[in-house]
Amino acid sequence: METRRVLLSEISKMHWLEAKELRNQNIELEDMVENLQGELQKIQAIKDSENRALFLETEEFCWKLGVSYIGNIVLLLILVAGVLFFTDLPWIIKALSATALAVVGGALTYIFHHQWRKNPASTEEEESDDLVMTNEDSSPEVANDDEEEKEEELADEYHGRDSSLGPNEDNLS
């Protein structure tokens, strides 16, 4: 009976040691998984930034390519208008053709120029938003506070108040 108790206690000690060892291995594995997830997030962030840079470069190239195509189309329209001028067509057809070509060329130039002016500004705003959000010291709340302060200063300037005097004191000088 005593040997049985000794054997049971030895078996329970062995199970306890195995369970403790398994817990330690589990903790080590969880730490490894957390480290790997952190590395994966770093790699994903690098990949995203590289993709973003490549996208911006591709977009800029496409816009430049579009500028050259629009320029070529406008030059072609001018050439066609010149050829029409020296043909034996009646003057009304020449005038209408030249007007139509000028309108089409002007419309293409205006549309593309307007889009070109809009595009670089939007990418700069996106980049500045990315920089604000990746800064560890600033939070969206801090950025909102700064915007509110700027709005208050602009309102004070509009109403002729000095913001350094206080919230309710008007600038009488």
Q: CB–CB of 80/102 below 8 Å?
A: no
Q: CB–CB of 81/89 below 8 Å?
A: no
Q: Compute the average pLDDT of residues 7-27.
A: 89
The amino acid at residue 74 is: V
pLDDT, residue 162, reads: 56
pLDDT (tens digit per residue) in 104-144: 877 877 777 666 666 554 444 444 444 444 444 444 445 55
Which tokens is 15 given?
A: 């199970």
Q: How far apart are the first and last CA of the chain?
A: 104
pLDDT, residue 42, reads: 93
Where does the pLDDT of residue 24 fall: very low under 50, low under 70, confident under 90, or very high at 90 and above? very high
Is the model's pLDDT at 39 over the cut of 80? yes
**What would the DSSP string read from start to end of 106-118?**
HHHHHHHHHHHHH
Which tokens is 1 given?
A: 């009976």
pLDDT, residue 168, reads: 53
pLDDT (tens digit per residue) in 51-104: 888 888 887 877 777 666 777 777 777 777 777 777 787 888 878 887 887 788
pLDDT, residue 138, reads: 46
In terms of Cβ atoms closer than 10 Å to its own Cβ (0-12, 13-18, 19+), residue 150 is: exposed
The contacts found for 103-110 with CB under 8 angstroms, 24 or more apart, are 104/77, 105/73, 105/74, 105/77, 105/78, 108/70, 108/73, 108/74, 109/70, 109/74
pLDDT, residue 33, reads: 94
10 Å Cβ neighbour count for 137? 5
Closest CA to 85 of 76, 93, 94: 94
Q: At what angle do helices 91-134 and 2-85 cross, to 10 degrees?
A: 160
pLDDT (tens digit per residue) in 3-14: 888 888 888 888
pTM of this prediction exceeds 0.95? no
Domain limits, the chain: 2-134, 141-173
